[in-house]
């Protein structure tokens, strides 16, 4: 079985469509790690694609923000502007859909979450210290997480935690006797200095995860954001992946 793992689409339809096209004939099932909406210009189109294709998906902090489960004060000022804009335009159908998203899900030999197992929707796993409590809570050998918008892999072997960020593309084997946290990066707003959309493929037979980067028409997304009057910094950062 091959799973396509996508995260942090953030209303970026161009990036999302390119990633779906890339994954289409390569995987059996696509799974989403949350933050479908926020920041970008096409929240309804992106939410509809996840909903209509019935991709299993967990809730991200931007979904919780739209649902008012967490207050707008939990977002940085630019994210808050974009979230308010998103909420004004979100259809009732898509709003009801994002309300159904659970905070975590379990599959055959892995789990998925937006942030961490300690705090599934809100916590960032960025280093060994923040990874440690999640490793303790893992019931499966592998966990996929997003939220940081930076691809990374961390493992715990005989009590020792190691981790590193992933530059560009690469394949990573999932050891049987260790636990692994894999961050699949972001489809619609990468922050690792690489503006290409990120996605991962987990091959359950080979016990390998591949991190891929996919180019998309960034200028087109930026043009739509300009038209929508979204903050300039959010428009600019797509070109630099920052
Ligand atoms: Zn995000």
CA of 239 to the centre of ligand 1 (A): 17
pLDDT digits (tens, 9 = 90+) for 156-168: 999 999 999 999 9
CA of 179 to the centre of ligand 1 (A): 24
CA of 190 to the centre of ligand 1 (A): 9
Per-residue pLDDT at 206: 96
Instruction: Specify the pairing of strand 104-106 against strand 110-113.
Output: antiparallel
Per-residue pLDDT at 176: 83
Of residues 1, 10, 5, the one with CA closest to residue 37: 10
CA of 10 to the centre of ligand 1 (A): 7
Per-residue pLDDT at 225: 98
CA of 189 to the centre of ligand 1 (A): 8
Rounded to two decimals, the pTM is 0.96
CA of 158 to the centre of ligand 1 (A): 32
Provide the 3-class DSSP secondary structure of residue 155. Answer: strand
CA of 122 to the centre of ligand 1 (A): 10
Q: Which residues surround ligand 1, an ion (CB under 5 A)?
A: 8, 35
CB 54 within 8 A of CB 46: no
232-240 vs 77-89: helix axis angle to the nearest 10?
100
Q: Six-digit token pair at 3?
A: 């799973």
CA of 177 to the centre of ligand 1 (A): 31
CA of 93 to the centre of ligand 1 (A): 22
Per-residue pLDDT at 108: 87
Give the residue ranges of the chain where pLDDT is below 50: none
Per-residue pLDDT at 175: 86
- 3-state per-residue secondary structure call for 97-111: HHHCCCCEEECCCEE
Instruction: Region of 236 please: left (phi>0), alpha (psi -120 to 50) or beta.
Output: alpha
């Amino acid at each position: 079985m091959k799973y396509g793992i996508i995260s942090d689409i953030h209303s970026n339809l161009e990036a999302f469509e390119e990633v779906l096209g890339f994954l289409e004939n390569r995987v059996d099932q696509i799974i989403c790690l949350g933050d479908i909406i926020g920041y970008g210009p096409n929240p309804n189109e992106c939410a509809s694609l996840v909903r209509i294709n019935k991709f299993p998906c967990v809730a991200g902090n931007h979904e919780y923000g739209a649902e008012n489960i967490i207050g707008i004060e939990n977002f940085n000022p630019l994210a808050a502007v974009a979230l308010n804009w998103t909420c004004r335009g979100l259809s009732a159908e898509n709003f009801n859909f994002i309300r159904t998203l659970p905070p975590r899900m379990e599959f055959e030999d892995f789990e998925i979450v937006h942030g961490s197992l300690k705090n599934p929707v809100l916590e960032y796993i960025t280093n060994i210290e923040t990874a440690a409590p999640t490793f303790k809570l893992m019931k499966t050998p592998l966990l996929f997480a997003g939220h940081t918008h930076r691809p990374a892999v961390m493992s715990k072997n005989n009590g020792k935690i190691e981790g590193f960020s992933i530059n560009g593309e690469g394949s990573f084997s999932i050891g049987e006797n260790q636990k692994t946290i894999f961050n699949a990066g972001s489809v619609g707003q990468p922050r690792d200095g690489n503006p290409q959309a990120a996605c991962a493929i987990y091959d359950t037979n080979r016990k390998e995860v591949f991190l891929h980067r996919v180019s998309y028409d960034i200028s087109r997304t930026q043009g739509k954001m300009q038209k929508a009057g979204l903050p300039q910094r959010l428009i600019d950062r797509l070109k630099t992946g920052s």
